[in-house]
Structure 1
Amino acid sequence: MFRTLRTLLMALLMAVAATAASALPAQAAAELPGGKANFVVSLGHLKDGARNNWVRLGTYEFDAAAGTVSARMYVWDHAVPKAREGTGTVPDSSCSSTDLKSTTHVLACQIKTAGGFTGSPTELRTGIYTLQNDTIDGVSTPTVWIKWNHTTAWTEKWAIETGTNLARLSFLHNTKATTGYGYGSNAALTTRRAMTTVQAHPSTIRLQGTTWAKDVTGTSGGVFHHENFRTCETTTWCLTYLQPTSSTACQKEGGCPNYGGGTASNISSIQYYLQKLSNTDRRDTLWHWCTCLAVERNELCYTGNSHVKPMYQIIDDTGTFRGWVGVEASYYPGTLTDPRKSDMFSVFRLADWT
C-alpha cells in the first residue's frame, strides 16, 4: 500500500513539474534566432540636429547552449572624427583610367574607406539573449531580446524572420540605437565571396537605409546595380563603375558651380569603387564621389568629402552571397565653423531580401 502511494505521489510530482516547465517562456538555451548562429549587423543612432550620432558595424555570434551572444563591432562616433584611410588598392587599367575625359572607366585612384576599418574591431561586447513570441501589429512574431554586459543599461529587441537559408533581424527597440539591420546564417563568419561572384549575383539587390547630413535625417532606397560594375583583371579584389548622370545631384549647395551640369563628358558622372578588405572575414568597402568635385579642385582623385561606406557581406547557409549590411562614416575633412554639420552618416542594407 505504501509503495503504491509513493508511486502515485512521484507520478503527481512529475506531472506538476512538467506542467510548470511548459508554462515557462521560451528560453535561449538550445535555440538560436531563426536557427542561425552568425549574424552581420549594422546599427546607428541618428537624430535631427544631433551631434552625438554614431554608427556601428560588425558581427553577432549566438551560443545556444549558453544562451549568450558576442558582438565584435567597428564604431564611428560623431564627436570623434576619423580621417579616411587608403586601402592600398589602385584599380588596374582594365577597370580604371588616368584620362579625366574617359566616359567608361573610373579614375585610377587609391580606394578609400572609413578610418579604422582596415584594422580590427574596437568594441567587443557580450550579453545574454532570450527568444520569445510577441504580438506585433496583431500578429504573433518570434523575437530575440538581448541584454548586453555594459557600463550602462543596454538592451535591444529584434523581430526574427526566416527565409531560404537565411534569417533576418528587423529592428524593434534599442536602448541606444535608433535604427539597424541584421542577417544571419550558419555559415562561418570567415566565409565570404569573391568580387567576381558579387558582380555576377543573379538577383536584384536593393538599398534601404537611414541617412544623416546637414542636421537632417532621411531615408535612402532604390536598386543597386552591381551588375554594371567592371571586374578588374589584375586587382581582382575590386570592382569599379563610372555612373553617367545628367542630374544635378552633384551640384547641391554649390558643390560643382562650374562643372556640375551637362553630359558631354564624364564630368557629370559618379565614380564608384567596391573592394574586398580581407580574405579571412566579410569586410568590403564602397567609395564614391562626384567627378565634378575633383575637377573643381583641379584634382585627378577627389580629396574632399567623399562617401566612405564600410560593409559586411551577407552569406547564407549554402555560402551564397546575398548582399551587405553597412554604414557610412564620412567626416568632413576641412575646416568650417561647424564641420560636424557637414559629416555624412548612414545605416543601410544592400540585399536581395529587404
Structure 2
Amino acid sequence: MSNKRPDGRRTVEVELTSVLSSVVRRSVAALAAVAALLAASVVTAGPARALTPLPGGKANWVVSVGHMDLATKNNFRNWVRLGYYAFKDDGTVTTNYWTWNQRDQPRRVDAMTANCGGAVPTCAVRTVDGFAGDPTGGYRGTFAHAADGRLAVTWTHDAAGTALGRPVTENWNLTTGLAGGRVAKIASPTFHGPVTDYVTVPEPGAFSAYANFGVGYGSNAPLDRTSRASMSQLVQDPRYNAEPYRGDFVVAKKQKVTNASIVAREKTGGDWTFGAAADPWRLCDGSPCMGWLQQNTSCQGVDKDRVRYIGEIGGGRRNTEEYWCQDLAQQQPCYLYNSHPRPMLQVIDDAGEFQGWVGVEAFAHVATSTGLPDGKWIDDYWGIFDMVSNDLQPRLPS
C-alpha cells in the first residue's frame, strides 16, 4: 500500500518523524557526554571543603603579645609586639606587627607637636622609634579550636612565605559576645589577675614557647585607617567622651622598695574620661592629638601633676600615648627624657564604634645628660596592656 497521498502529506510526516528522531538521539548523546564530564569533575575535585569557624565569628583583630620575665631568668631580654591578626574561614591566619626588644634599647622619637593650650604644656608627643613606619615583621599560619575551648594559633611561615625552622603555637582563651556580640577577645591564661608586684610567669608552652603574655580584640570592621576614631571624636562624641577606658598592664620593671627585677600587674586608664565637664582633655591645634594635665596623681615630688598626650599616627588603627610627671621637667615646659611611650591600636566593633585600645610599653631608660640609653636595664619598663570600655567587660584588677 502506498504511503503517499495525493497532497503529499504522508510523505512529509514520515520525513519529519525521521528528522526529529535524529535530533533526539544527538541531544541524548550530548547530555550523556556533559553528565560524564560533570561526574569526572566531581571525582577530581574531591569532597567539599569544611569551613573553620572564625574566632568568635570575627575576622580582624588587634593584638599585643610579649615575653616579660625576671632578670635572673632572661638577663633583661624582654620584648613586646603589637599588630594585626587576620583570620579566614579556610583555617589560615596572618599577622603583621611592630616589635621592640629591650636589648636594642629603642629610642623615643617625636611624632607631632601638642599645642593644646590651657594648662597642657606645648611639647612634642613622642613614640617609640619605628612605630610611625611600616610593620617590621609578620607571620603566616593556621588556627584551630581546641576541645577545651581555647584557640590555637600556629605560625608556620614568615611574611614572605619562608617556612619557620620550628612552628610556634599560641594557646588563647577566647571570650565571645562582648558589646552585644560586636566584639570577641583573646587573652593568655595569666594575663588578667589582681594588682601585684609578683605575677607568676607561666612556664614555656603554657601560652606559647616564645611569648608568655598576650591580649587582643576582634571584630569584622576593616583594619585600615577608615575605621579609626579621630581624636576629636574621642573628646567630643558623647558615645566616647564619658566612658572610662580601663584594663590590665603586665610589665617587667623594678620594684621600688627592694630595687629587684619583677614582673608586675598594674591598672591602666582610670575613672577619668576624655570629656569630663570640669577637666576635659584638650584637642591639639594643628596636630591630630589631645592632651591633659592630670592633677594630684601618684607622681613623686612636690608637683603631683601628670602630663598626658594621645595622638593619631601613621595608617590603620594606630595611636600613640605618652605621659610623664610634671615635676621631672624641673620648671621647664617639657620633659625630654624618661617618659612612658606607648604604641597602641584601636579596638573597633562590628558597628564601627570605638571601644578602646590594646598596646605595649617599650621604655628604655636614658641619661638626662645626653638623652641616650644608659644601660640601666633595671629602670626600664616593658609590658603589654588593654584599655577598653565597659562594654568589653575589662577585668579590672583589685
Q: Which moved more, 1:74-83 or 1:219-228?
A: 219-228
Equivalent residue number for residue 60 of structure 1: 85
Q: Could you list the runs of 5+ residues in structure 2 that have no partner in the other structure?
A: 1-46, 157-163, 190-206, 255-260
C-alpha distance 336-112 of structure 1, shift in aligned 2 (>3 A)? closer
Q: Which amino acid aligns with 1:41?
A: V
1-structure distance, mates of 2:245, 2:299: 24
CA deviations over 1:203-255 (Å, ceiling 9, x no partner): 3311211012122111111543232542326336211110111x5x433xxxx
Q: CA deviation at 1:72?
A: 0.7
C-alpha distance 226-28 of structure 1, shift in aligned 2 (>3 A)? farther
CA deviations over 1:151-203 (Å, ceiling 9, x no partner): 34411011221122001112131221121111000000011111122234143
CA deviations over 1:57-103 (Å, ceiling 9, x no partner): 011001112x111111111101111111110x2122xx23xxxxxxx
State the SS of the aligned residue for 1:226. coil
Candidates 69, 72, 95, aligned match of 1:71: 95
CA contact (8 A) 2:249 2:268 kept: no
Candidates 282, 289, 297, aligned match of 2:317: 282
Using structure 1 for the length normalisation, give the TM-score. 0.78
2-structure distance, mates of 1:236, 1:338: 33
Q: Does 1:303 align with 2:336?
A: yes
Q: Which amino acid aligns with 1:75?
A: T
2-structure distance, mates of 1:222, 1:52: 24
State the SS of the aligned residue for 2:247. strand
Equivalent residue number for residue 10 of structure 1: none
C-alpha distance 226-133 of structure 1, shift in aligned 2 (>3 A)? farther
Equivalent residue number for residue 388 of structure 2: 351
Q: Does 1:180 align with 2:214?
A: yes
Q: Does 1:250 align with 2:299?
A: yes
C-alpha distance 336-69 of structure 1, shift in aligned 2 (>3 A)? closer
**Kindly, what percent of the aligned residue pairs are identical?**
31
C-alpha distance 158-28 of structure 1, shift in aligned 2 (>3 A)? farther
Equivalent residue number for residue 270 of structure 1: 306
How many residue pairs match? The answer is 293
Correspondences of 1:332-343 after superposition (within 5 Å): 332-334=365-367, 338-343=375-380
Equivalent residue number for residue 234 of structure 1: 285
Q: CA deviation at 1:283?
A: 0.3
CA contact (8 A) 1:314 1:325 kept: yes
CA deviations over 1:278-315 (Å, ceiling 9, x no partner): 3x3100011000111111xx532112111000000000
Candidates 154, 170, 173, aligned match of 2:187: 170
Q: Which amino acid aligns with 1:294?
A: A
Q: Which amino acid aligns with 2:359?
A: G
Equivalent residue number for residue 13 of structure 2: none
1-structure distance, mates of 2:81, 2:333: 32
Q: Could you list the runs of 5+ residues in structure 1 that have no partner in the other structure?
A: 1-20, 22-26, 97-103, 135-141, 252-259, 262-266
The structure with the greater share of residues assigned to strand is 1
Q: Which amino acid aligns with 2:266?
A: S
CA contact (8 A) 1:195 1:231 kept: no
Equivalent residue number for residue 330 of structure 1: 363
Q: CA deviation at 1:337?
A: 7.4
CA deviations over 1:112-157 (Å, ceiling 9, x no partner): 00111111110111111112330xxxxxxx3211111233441101
CA contact (8 A) 2:67 2:213 kept: yes
CA contact (8 A) 1:206 1:221 kept: yes
Q: Does 1:90 align with 2:90?
A: no
CA contact (8 A) 2:282 2:290 kept: yes
RMSD of the TM alignment (CA)?
Answer: 2.1
Q: Which amino acid aligns with 1:171?
A: S
Q: CA deviation at 1:342?
A: 1.5
Equivalent residue number for residue 151 of structure 2: 144
State the SS of the aligned residue for 2:123. coil
CA deviations over 1:242-276 (Å, ceiling 9, x no partner): 0111x5x433xxxxxxxx12xxxxx3311000101
Using structure 2 for the length normalisation, give the TM-score. 0.69
CA contact (8 A) 1:28 1:131 kept: no
Q: CA deviation at 1:28?
A: 8.3
2-structure distance, mates of 1:299, 1:272: 16
